[in-house]
Each structure stands twice: as structure tokens, then as C-alpha cells.
Chains A and B, each alone.
Chain A
């Protein structure tokens, strides 16, 4: 019996000692990002706690910081924290699947959030319904095109990303021209490849703008596009990129969330095939230092900071129904150019193009323009691009869901 008691005591001691080390939930973990305000109720009393009556700002993310897409939104959240300090309290929900968005949003509403940013397209329909149930909370839905005046507290936002894609295309085009000049690839065989998620307007618009950027430098180049059937699937993206490279594509770009395509390029180059890549939403030079030229990215900080500012000032109703902007307001940005591998004079061309977008001398109707007819893959409706297509004229989410079959070759899986 004594032994048993002793064993129990030992066990108890162990549990208590476990409890003694380690810290409470809500305090910032040692590994977690420094400076982030402690979250939610558990944080009360801690030195970093937001001031009494701070505005609660909610975020719903499809992934977490390990993915380019969400990492990009988290940078905007950080910008809000930096801008408003203890006047705001940020509460984020990570890894929320598109059909499971209702509960996290409701929690944020009940926790007292004044404004909530929902950041994946698929949340839109549910969030719009919930906005009607919580008319005093502002809901800002990224990359969606379903806001209208009937739900005054539901808003859409997205950067005019075709601008970034076009500039990224110029960078790729300059590199391709250099390869042609060097004799690495014959001018009539130069083609580029694109790993695309789905044949959805946002994706089609993006790759078309990219191709137009490349063709502004190398006029006759064509592009192979292959759909991954997923927004983020490392293996599939890498396999597709590898197949495109083997098929003779000398530049690879992507509209998908993982580093798969960049790593496929890096692997191919290590094996002696000269190929470069242009990525999206994230600087990928750390995984592909020898092949990744540049990435275009959305910068959501200007919008989100302004929206929070509006709610703080009691003017949440002034947030636009649907808002978008390009380089001119800093909504679209380029990551740092990888000067070690980029063609000579690339930075100047980037600056030139960005300036042209900023000043308005380069517009959507100049990018989506040419002697082409584009076809909607679903309805087979066609449009004539001789006068150009005014992308983002109606909505902040891209609307160019038409494939230019003359210069874009959609490959089957």
C-alpha cells in the first residue's frame, strides 16, 4: 500500500512540475512572432494587452503563414498591428476550410469584432449571408465578386493583379530574349509554361496578362498551360512543372500556392536544363535561388489598414462596396528582383512599366489587347480583343475568363 501511495505521489509531483514550466495560453510563445499583441480573453492583465475598448479585428484564413496566399494576408494583419498598436486587438482563425467558415465567423462576431476580413473566395456566399445577420459589423471579403448595395456591410476587395502579372511577364520576356540571343534556345522554339489552379477567371486573367507581358518583349512566344485541379498541391504542381520543362518550356510561372513549380525549375537546372521561373504572392528565391527571377504579389495592407481606420473613426459605412487598385495605391507589388540571374537592364524596365501603370499611361485595355479572339471555356462565348478588354472595370475580382487559343495551348492532364 505504501508503495502505491509513493507511486501516486511521484505521479502527482511530475504533473505539477510539468504545469510549473511552460507558460499560459495567450502569452506570446517564445517562438511566435514578437510584438504581436496577446489574443482574446486569456490575455487580460498581460503587459501587451490592448487598451480597454480596443477595436476587435477578425481575420479568417484558408491556410497559415506557411502558405504564400495566406502569408500575404498575414503581412496585412501585421501592418494593422503596427499602424494602430493597442487601439486594435486582432483575432485570427487559421486553416478554415471553405465550407466550414460559418462557425469561425460567428465566433468572431460574438467575440465583439467590429470588422472581419475573410480572405478566400469560397467564403463569400456564406459570409454575405452572415453579414445580414450582423448588420453592425463590417465584413470585407477578398477576391470575390458578389458584393452589392443590398447588403451594406458586406464589401469586396482585391488588387488589380493583372498589372503585377504583366510586369512579371516583362521580366520573364527579357530573360527569354537573353536566352535566345545566347543561342540557348531557338527563337522559333521559345515557349513558356504555366501551372494554373483551375480554369477560373482570376487564373485565366492572370496567365493572359503574364503572357502579354512576355510578348511585349518577345512578340511570337506562345504558352502551354496545364491545370492542377487544386489551389495548392505541392506534388501535382511540381509534376506539372517538370512535364512542362521536359516539353521545352524555358520559363515557368504559376497560379497556385506552393513552391512546387519553383523547385521543379531548380531541380531541372541542377540537371543541366536552363529554365527560369516567375512566382506569385511570395518571394521564392530562398527555395529556388538559381531560377526564380521575381514574384508579383498582392499587398492587402493599404486596403485593410484604411478599412480598420474607417471603423475606428465610426465610419464603417464609408467602406466601398467593391474596391480595387493597382500599383498606384500600392495594392500590387513586385518582390525583389533576383539580380544574380535576371537579364541586364531588367530593373529599369520594371520601374518603367510600374511607372506607366501608376500614371495611367498603361491600362488594362493595353494589356488585354491584340489581334486575337478569346473564348470562354464554358459558354464558348467569344470576345474580340482588337480594342482591348477593360479588366477590373466592373469588379475588383478579375473577370477575364476567356482563353486566347491562338497563342495559349491548354494541355490535358
Chain B
């Protein structure tokens, strides 16, 4: 063997346990924090004190924890909605719109019946309407994909803008509050508001239930198995006798319905009104969460908590520094974490073999 060996060789590895894989992922989060520290220093602040203040702002008092959980609830819900679709390799970029449609459906019943129906009737109806509305909105691109093979990424993405456009029309038109011209919908009456538990909307429990549901659904049910098979290979699925079109449509209904529920939780439990920013970007951030959690619903709980802490912490930092450190720094940090965690997948799949070590091993 006379050819010079490269300094580093890569070999696929399959001996890495789940535990070690997660250690690498957690290390990558710290790597992102260190990279970001450089950025903080460049604006003239001490990164350690910034991080400490961020954690204090997110978790330092019961109120802060409540507010962090409030950020986490829709984010976790959105990532749960994404999970079954992505597992099927159906790239549902439309959760933002599905949340919005859920919010519209819930708001319709809230505005129409808030003064005539009791809460006990109104809230379940709003909840159901939101789930069905979101589900149908999600099903639309699935039907097109199943029947005509349209590109679901573009289709779901475009549907977001339509849903948000509809809200813009409603808040500046038929649902606008008096006096007109404000582009705002009135705040719901108490009957249409979900109660709070420990200072956080009861919708949190819906999302927690969804975590368990989604975990079991993907892992233990026949439908969950079909989703996995379709995701691995549509041809295999077809060969195994699975009606691929049906699985796609059904799964997207589930995905959209969960997103719709998130819309209900936001309008009825958090904002108490509908606006064009009802989804507020969680439909997209949820993709990050779902991806970082490897589509594992339990993992999503932790990742969404991490991002919620970052968001809340960044807002605290923004206040403490008189706006010198922008709130958008949480987005930058999230991006860095995503980048580092995706990079870490490389080290999880491959091991690097250095030249010297190789020689020693050869001896």
C-alpha cells in the first residue's frame, strides 16, 4: 500500500447507541451557544451574563415560566401537526395556514354565539369546528397530490397565503369591530374564552394529550405503520397492498386537524381574538422543532421548550439592554442550533479516522 493516505477518512458507523447520538446532539447545542457567544461579544456584551439573564427571564419566576409555556404551547402543537405528514415524507409547509383556518372556524362560532350559548357548549363546538376546518384545509393539497401528483410543498405553502388573506379580509370587512377602520376583530366574550389553569391556558392540556396521542399513533397503530411505510417507499407500500392515496389524504386530515386545534387554542385561550398573525410563524418554526426532534413527539416537548426559553429569554434581554440586543437574536440562535444539530447528524452517521490512528491500528 504505497498510496498516501488522506489525513481524515470517513467511515459509516452503526455502532453508536441512541444515548451517544443524543449526547452528540446536546454537545452540538452547546457548540451553537459558543458560536453565538462570539456574536454577543461583537456587540459589546458578556455572553455568560446574557445567557444567565436569558434563562432568568424565561424561568426565573412563576410568571416567566407561565409566559414561556404560553409560547411553547402553539409551537409544540404545530410541530405535532407536522410530525405525521413529515413521517410520510409529505412536506406539509402549510401548517401556518391550517392553524389560521382553524382559528377562523373557531372565531366564526365565537362571534356568532358568544352571547347566546353557554361556554360548555360553545367551546367544544369551536374546538370541533377548528379541527374539521384545519383538517379539510390540510386535506386539499393531499387530494391533489394523491389524484394528480401535484407538488405538495408549493401547494401547502401557497394555501398559507390564501388563509392569511381571508383573515385580512375578515378583520377589515365583515368581522371588523365598531368603530370601523381599525382592522381589528373584537375580543371574545368570556363564554368563548378557554379558562386558565395555573395562569396558563387549559389548551396546554389539549397539546399534552396530543403528544401522547401522536406518540402512540405513530408507534403502535396500523395507520402509523402505514404512514412509515409510505414514507420509506411508496412503491413498497403499494406492493404491500396499502392504498397510498388514501393514507396520504387521511394523514393530512389528521395533520391539518391538529393544526386547526392549535388555531382554536390560540384564539380562544391566548389571544382571545383573531388576527392575521394568529399563527405567528409557528407553522414554520414548528418544522424546525419537528426536524430537530427527529419527528419524535416526546423529543418535540423538549425542543419546543428550548425554543420557547430562547424566545422568552431574548425578549427579556431586549428589555434589559434597552433594545440594543434585538429580540430577533432568538431566531439567529435558533438558526445556529438548527445548523449545528444538522451538522451533528453527520458525526452521528460517520466516524472520522485520522491517518495516524489508522497506522497504529494497522500495527
A and B pair up: yes
Residues of A that sit less than 8 Å from B by CB: 11, 14-15, 18-19, 21-26, 28-33, 36, 39-40, 42, 64-65, 91-95, 97-100, 103-104, 106-107, 110, 121-122, 125-126, 129, 198-201, 203-204, 229, 377-379, 401
Not counting A22-B41, A103-B67, A122-B182, a sample of 15 additional A-B residue pairs whose C-beta atoms are within 8 angstroms of each other reads A15-B34, A15-B37, A18-B38, A19-B48, A22-B44, A26-B321, A32-B321, A40-B319, A91-B319, A93-B319, A106-B63, A121-B182, A125-B187, A198-B182, A203-B181
Answer whether residue B183 sits at the interface, using C-beta atoms and an 8 A cutoff.
yes
Q: How many angstroms between the C-alpha atoms of A198 and B318 in the bound complex?
A: 31
User: Is A39 in contact with B322, judged by CB distance below 8 angstroms?
Assistant: yes
Residues from chain A with a CB closer than 8 A to the CB of B325 are 25
In this assembly, does B50 line the interface, its C-beta being within 8 Å of a C-beta of chain A? yes
Given contacts A42-B53, A110-B63, whether A32 and B324 have CB atoms under 8 Å apart is yes
Q: In the complex, are the beta carbons of A22 and B323 less than 8 A apart? A: no
For B25, the chain A residues whose CB sits under 8 A away are none
Q: Name the interface residues of B62-77: CB closer than 8 Å to any CB of A.
A: 63-64, 67, 70
Interface 1/0 per residue, B29-71 and A, CB below 8 Å: 0000010011011011111111001000000010110010010
Residues of A within 8 Å of B64, CB to CB, are: 107
Interface code B245-283, partner A: CB below 8 Å = 1, 0 otherwise?
000000000000000000000000001110101101000
Between A and B, 11 residue pairs with Cβ closer than 8 Å are A24-B45, A40-B320, A65-B323, A99-B278, A103-B67, A107-B67, A200-B182, A201-B179, A203-B181, A204-B181, A378-B180
Return the contact of B46 from the options A14, A19, A36, A106 (Cβ within 8 A).
Answer: A19
Q: How far is the CA of A198 from the CA of B168 in the complex (A)?
A: 13
The residue on B at minimum CB distance from A106 is: B63
* B172 CB contacts on chain A under 8 angstroms: 198, 229
A378 to chain B: which residues have CB within 8 Å?
180-181
Closest 10 CB pairs of A and B: A200-B181, A378-B180, A22-B46, A24-B49, A29-B324, A19-B48, A22-B41, A25-B53, A94-B323, A99-B275
Of the listed residues A18, A23, A33, A201, the one surrounded by the most CB atoms of chain B closer than 10 A to its CB is: A18
Distance in Å: Cβ of A188 to nearest Cβ of chain B:
33
**Complex interface: chain A residues within 8 A of B40 (CB):** 22
- B317 at interface by CB-CB < 8 Å: yes
Task: Determine if B181 and A401 form an interchain contact, defined as CB atoms under 8 angstroms apart.
Answer: yes
Shortest Cβ distance from A217 into chain B, in angstroms?
A: 29
Give the most central of B63, B180, B277: most A CB within 10 Å.
Answer: B180
B181 CB contacts on chain A under 8 angstroms: 198-201, 203-204, 377-378, 401
Give CA–CA (A341, B40) in the complex, Å.
Answer: 45
The smallest C-beta distance from B76 to any residue of chain A, in angstroms, reads: 17
A18 to B50, CA, bound (A): 12
Which bucket holds chain B's interface residue count? 35 or more
| Complex-state Cα separation, A92 to B322, whole angstroms | 7
CA distance A103 to B70 in the complex (A): 9
| Other-chain residue from B44, B53, B273, B275 in contact with A30 (beta carbon distance below 8 A) | B44
- Bound CA–CA A36/B40 (angstroms): 21
Q: Once the chains bind, are A21 and B41 in contact (CB under 8 Å)? A: yes
> A310 to B157, alpha carbons, bound, how many Å?
53
Whether the Cβ atoms of B45 and A29 lie closer than 8 Å is: yes
Say whether B322 contacts A32, CB under 8 Å. Answer: yes
Q: Please measure, in the bound complex, the distance between the C-alpha atom of A30 and the C-alpha atom of B321, giving whole angstroms.
A: 11
Note all chain B residues with C-beta closer than 8 A to A33: 322
* B48: A residues at CB distance < 8 A: 19
Contacts of A126 in B (CB 8 A): 187, 272
Shortest Cβ distance from A33 into B: residue: B322
Q: How far is the CB of B203 from the nearest CB of chain A, in Å?
A: 15
B46 engages A25 (CB within 8 Å): yes
Instruction: Determine how close the nearest CB of chain A comes to the CB of B82; give it in whole angstroms.
Output: 23
A286 to B186, CA, bound (A): 40
Residue B184 interfacial (CB < 8 Å):
yes
In angstroms, Cα B67 to Cα A204, docked, is: 38
Write out the residue numbers on chain B whose beta carbons fall within 8 Å of the beta carbon of A377.
180-181
Contact of B234 with A by CB under 8 A = no
**Is the CB of B331 closer than 8 A to any CB of chain A?**
no
B34 to chain A: closest residue by CB = A15
Partner of B49, one of A25, A31, A98, A129: A25
Contact check, A94 vs B320: say whether CB atoms are below 8 A apart: no
Interfacial chain A residues near B318, Cβ < 8 Å: 94-95
Q: How far is the CA of A32 from the CA of B324 in the complex (A)?
A: 6
Return the chain A residue nearest B354 by Cβ. A3
Kindly list chain A residues whose C-beta atoms are within 8 Å of the C-beta of B70: 103
> Given the complex of chains A and B, what is the CA–CA distance between A93 and B47 in angstroms?
21
Residue of chain B at shortest CB distance from A144? B182
Mask, B222-235, CB within 8 Å of A = 1, is 00000000000000
Nearest CB in chain B: distance from A94 CB, A: 5
A377–B38 Cα distance when bound, in Å, is 55
How many Å lie between the Cα of A103 and that of B58 in the bound state? 12
- Chain B residues lying within 8 Å of A401, measured Cβ to Cβ, are 179-181
